[in-house]
Amino acid sequence: DVKVTQSSRYLVKRTGEKVFLECVQDMDHENMFWYRQDPGLGLRLIYFSYDVKMKEKGDIPEGYSVSREKKERFSLILESASTNQTSMYLCAIKRDLNSGTQYFGPGTRLLVL
Amino acid sequence: GDSVTQMEGPVTLSEEAFLTINCTYTATGYPSLFWYVQYPGEGLQLLLKATKADDKGSNKGFEATYRKETTSFHLEKGSVQVSDSAVYFCALSIPNSGNEKLTFGTGTRLTIIP
């Protein structure tokens, strides 16, 4: 079974803080993704990575950056958190190169005060 | 660009009722189509998928058929249970696009009452 873990289930941060969300996979999968989930908007792609030190912007990258120094770990960084970044953040990996199927972590619910 | 439109929720049904959640898509290529489910407090799980026209995906009593002529992938279940209460997302991806992202619909919250 594919296992995707996220460092926190719930986080509360203050406006202006730097926030790190971490995602770890237990297999040697290359493609990793960060989405945010908001009511009425579904999931939107923030960034993805197809290999170590490689990253691509998704649909809503503004206000975020990412880091992938090791294959198993993909970090999402909020350089200066704002209240409009309050959301559920979901990490996913893509296992099969010939299939679009992605496997998701449990999510991190972030509240920015 | 690519997009997915799915039935607005919330949807409330009685146990053993028939379920349909509509999903239509717009895509520039030949997409793969997915239904994901999110149970309360959890991440998304793949429910079923179809990769080409006329394919039927099925799992846990749910079914969806890839209809290219109507660009649809409606989710159905003949007899729902309380445990099916969740949020359901329709999604697509374009194989070999170099992007590999999933494009999601807005989600449909389903509540089954005993």
pLDDT digits (tens, 9 = 90+) for A23-56: 999 877 778 999 999 988 999 999 999 889 899 9
B44 closest CB neighbour out of A90, A94, A100: A90
* 3-state DSSP assignment of residue A87: strand
Instruction: Read off the pLDDT band of B63 (50, 70, 90).
Output: very high
| Candidates B45, B95, B105; nearest CB to A42 | B105
Q: A102 and B102: CB-CB below 8 Å?
A: yes
Closest chain A residue to B34 measured between Cα atoms?
A: A101
pLDDT at B99: 64
Does the structure show a pLDDT above 80 at B21?
yes
Given an 8 Å threshold on Cβ–Cβ distance, is A42 in contact with B95? Answer: no
Kindly give, in sequence order, each residue whose CB lies less than 8 Å from that of residue B23, ignoring residues fewer than 6 positions away: B4, B5, B6, B7, B33, B35, B64, B72, B73, B74, B75, B90, B105
Q: What is the pLDDT of residue A94?
A: 87
Which pLDDT score is estimated for B98?
A: 66
pLDDT of amino acid B30: 85
